[in-house]
Structure 1
Amino acid sequence: MGLRATVVVCTTSFLLGCLFTHWIADALTLWKPPAADADLWTAARYYDILETMPRWAQGILGAVVSAAGATVVWSFGDAQADNIMFDGGSICLFGATLAMYVYNVLPNIIKNFDSLPPHEPDAVVPQGIRTAVLDLASNHLMCSVALTGVLALQAGRQWVERSARQDAEEVEELVDEK
């Protein structure tokens, strides 16, 4: 596995791991419909904490996203037929994830969880927060599936490259024998 593939796989895995940490909140709402108010409040408190994460941590996350995106685009620059298919698909999936996060997830967190209203344990969740929590859970799931697709495409690329090398070696051995 080359350096570029290693960077893509490692950074994508890191981002996927970051999304998996949201499972704490998302599992409470996404997989148990209808979501109970207590579960929605728990998820809302989680997103409230996430919104107040230190800016340096957000910077690290941004750097990892930048490294992953730049490396996927760099790999696409080889313009080999097998790379175009696998890296083109990776770019589409990575770009879709980035767009989903920038245009849906981040604005949702900033707008709805900047300051969570105080509530009693048995209080009914306001419709705006209920919708925001459910949307975040759905968006995180879509981003996770897309990043898993990036990993699958990169694995496919490595498999094709290894098979091509093995085929070339076999042909070379046959030519040497004759």
Structure 2
Amino acid sequence: MGVRAAVVVCVTSFMLDQNLWTAATYYSIIANGPAQIQYAVASIILLGATTILWSLRDGRAGNLMFDGGSIFLFCTTIWMYSYSVLPSIFSLFKNLPPHPSTDAIPEDLQSAVFDLASNNLICSVALTGVLGLQAGRFWAESADNDDDEIESLKATPGPSRGKTPQSE
């Protein structure tokens, strides 16, 4: 039993170290990327925030509920990236030490990768919530439009309802 457990732990650790080095290399690429990419990402984020805030201006209750929740989740994500994810990436992964992927990852770098993965998971869940809320808003608005069409058909006088010029 002890030998099997040791082999499984060694194989798992080897695979985990390779994946951690892959994640660390990814974060290093982000940290050392051209500033234009960072400006483009910031512009896209600003466009998304502006669009959500803009839709609040019509003041309908559905917009306040769906867009208010979206703004909260969107701002939570921006806060997480601004105060946790990006500072960690730029401080810890700017100068990644040279290494073969078979080396064990240093303890401090391993901890940083796990922290970033946790923070990115939080951001992913929050952004998935934004997508869900916006889909719910779309569904609610389309259901309201369907109800309006049904009401307008009911208001139309009986004999001419449903008749087209070809049917006469």
Shorter-chain TM band: 0.7 to 0.9
Over the aligned positions, Cα root-mean-square deviation in angstroms equals 2.0
Look up the match of 1:173: 153
Look up the match of 2:121: 141
Q: Distance in 2 between matches of 1:94 and 1:86?
A: 12
Look up the match of 1:85: 65
User: In 2 relative to 1, CA 70–33 (structure 1 residues): closer, same or farther, beyond 3 Å?
Assistant: farther
Look up the match of 2:85: 105
Q: Which is worse superposed, 103-112 or 42-51?
A: 42-51
Letter paired with 1:124: A
| Structure 2 unaligned residues grouped into runs of 5+ | 1-11, 159-168
Normalising by structure 2, what TM-score? 0.79
User: In 2 relative to 1, CA 103–41 (structure 1 residues): closer, same or farther, beyond 3 Å?
Assistant: same
Q: Distance in 2 between matches of 1:102 and 1:109?
A: 11
Which among 45, 52, 56 is matched to residue 36 of structure 2? 56
Look up the match of 2:95: 115
Per-residue deviation, 1:33: 8.4
The alignment of Structure 1 onto Structure 2 pairs a total of residues equal to 147
| Structure 1 unaligned residues grouped into runs of 5+ | 1-31
- Indicate the percent of aligned positions where both proteins have the same amino acid: 45
Q: Distance in 2 between matches of 1:122 and 1:35?
A: 9
TM-superposition CA deviations, 1:105-124 (whole Å, max 9, x none)? 10110111010123354433
TM-superposition CA deviations, 1:114-169 (whole Å, max 9, x none)? 10123354433222211111111122222122112111111111111111111122
Q: Which is worse superposed, 132-141 or 33-42?
A: 33-42
Rg comparison, structure with higher value: 2
Q: In structure 1, the residue corresponding to 2:58 is in which secondary structure? A: coil
Look up the match of 2:9: none
Which among 48, 70, 80 is matched to residue 68 of structure 1? 48
Q: Distance in 1 between matches of 2:66 and 2:25?
A: 39
